[in-house]
Amino acid sequence: MRSWALALLLGALRTGGAPAPARNVLLLLADDGGFESGAYNNSAIRTPNLDALAQRSVLFQNAFTSVSSCSPSRASILTGLPQHQNGMYGLHQDLHHFNSFDGVRSLPWLLSQARVRTGIIGKKHVGPEAVYPFDFAYTEENSSVLQVGRNITRIKALVRQFLQSQDERPFFLYVAFHDPHRCGHSQPQYGAFCEKFGNGESGMGWIPDWKPQLYHPEQVQVPHFVPDTPAARADLAAQYTTIGRMDQGIGLVLEELRLAGFHNSTLVIYTSDNGIPFPSGRTNLYRSGTAEPLLISSPEHTGRWGQVSQAFATLLDLTPTVLDWFSIPYPSYSIFGKKQVQLTGKSLLPALESEQPWATAFSSQSHHEVTMYYPMRAIQHRQFRLIHNLNYKMPFPIDQDFYVSPTFQDLLSRTRAGQPTHWNKTLHQYYYRDRWELFDCSRDPTESQNLAADPRYADVFQLLRERLLKWQWDTGDPWVCAPDAVLEEKLSPQCRPLHNEL
């Protein structure tokens, strides 16, 4: 028996054999959040609640999403399966209309079968309902996403309602903030990041528990992949304000957990779904688009509180981690035919006891919006990242909400006028990419020098390519043969060449 599984079993009994308090899970998810926090060494922003949580957590320096897009990432978090395996190829809402396959057994479904009470507050953004059922749900499906995702006073009240109605079952509560997502495309009256929503000004409404923190453009820290321009700095300053609102919301949620008496029996996880909505961020499989904050606080693993882990983790690991916490076996089932689905992620609980040697992360993207067909597959192994751009003959697509952003509009204007962009690449380089991109992130942290064709890295390229291909086969990737072959799987799965000159 695994050592941490034995500890869970032994910990299930108090002295004298009486049952211990039920173990619970609180998952806190940012929406397009990044490393804008004091916990991750950003001294320009004030995030006291995240910083305090980090002191009671293991902080992961190498955590990655498996897909840099909202719905696909959330589906991957809640299934432990990459987007190409669970079916959520792109965004769920409106005309995009992507859904996971009917046969997928999600985390909330598995938990309900094991008599764990489930709740979701905030942005759900996945479907169908039968695949992602929650016992307690206040989301965009039955409420205003602004109210359940950004109004932290409303979120606090809903968390209190969930906890006060708790029965004898253990619980899994998923609080999915809508901050710091952009809203210039959907609710421009509230600002580029909805930073004015609820600030008490005329027409903006009022969030009683929020004390807005305003930032000047010259104060922000500009990530290396974002143009250092006045427009981008103002954009980041607005983003900081909404991160501050989420941070205060996290503080309120954790206080409700304490007041209800569950803080000493609850595993708390904080992360984000994908990269920040800036150039090379969200929708990209570069490190800047896939690296995520990850804090895991266990009341039973205090020895590593405040420590930093270099072990690689991915959001595909969250389902195995939660199942392990509840001592629920990993699922094995079939979505199509007789082929069994196996989780390829791992439990992160061992990393709460000691440092782990994990050094590989995979990612897979096919769409974002329905028109944004640009399939990519990637592997990060130690310092090397290999990206396969399957649709590399086409320009990289731009989503609607990023297109109208001040940062991108300024970048377009500067490019058209032939003015300096103060960016680490040109717009042409951003649009048109090589089929294979290989980076040594230890020597090239900005991922600017493609080594895929360099003969000195031929062995590294081949090793990563083989590992990536194996993962695609293991996870039933329909794109495993693309773009220069067709998958023939009726008799014996194999790639049949197209001779299409790629």
| 204 touches 196 (CB < 8 A) | yes
Residue 193: name the closest of 34, 426, 386, 354 by CA. Answer: 34
Residue with tokens 């800047």: 288
| 215 touches 118 (CB < 8 A) | no
DSSP 397: P
Question: For residue 483, is the peptide bond before it cis, meaning its omega torsion is within 30 degrees of 0?
Answer: yes
Cα dihedral 59, 319, 71, 268 sign:
negative
In whole angstroms, give the CA distance from residue 13 to residue 468. Answer: 43
Residue 319 tokens read as 């389902």
Residue 219 tokens read as 């104060």
Catalytic residue selected from 70, 183, 194, 481: 70
Strand ranges of the sheet holding 436-440, from the earlier edge strand across to the other edge: 360-365, 376-381, 384-389, 436-440
- Coil, strand or helix at 466: helix
Burial per residue of 85-104, b for 16 or more beta-carbon CB atoms within 10 angstroms, e otherwise:
bbbbbbbbbeebebbbbeeb
In whole angstroms, give the CA distance from residue 432 to residue 427. Answer: 9
Residue 369's contacts (CB-CB under 8 Å, 6 or more residues apart) are 90, 91, 96, 397, 399, 400
- Coil, strand or helix at 422: coil
Residue 126: name the closest of 151, 148, 107 by CA. Answer: 107
Residue 493 tokens read as 């799965």
- Classify residue 386 as exposed, middle or buried by CB count within 10 Å of its CB (0-12, 13-18, 19+): buried
Residue 118: name the closest of 170, 177, 57, 179 by CA. Answer: 170
Is residue 70 part of the annotated active site? The answer reads: yes
List 307's β-bridge partners, or say none: 58
List, by residue number, the catalytic residues: 70
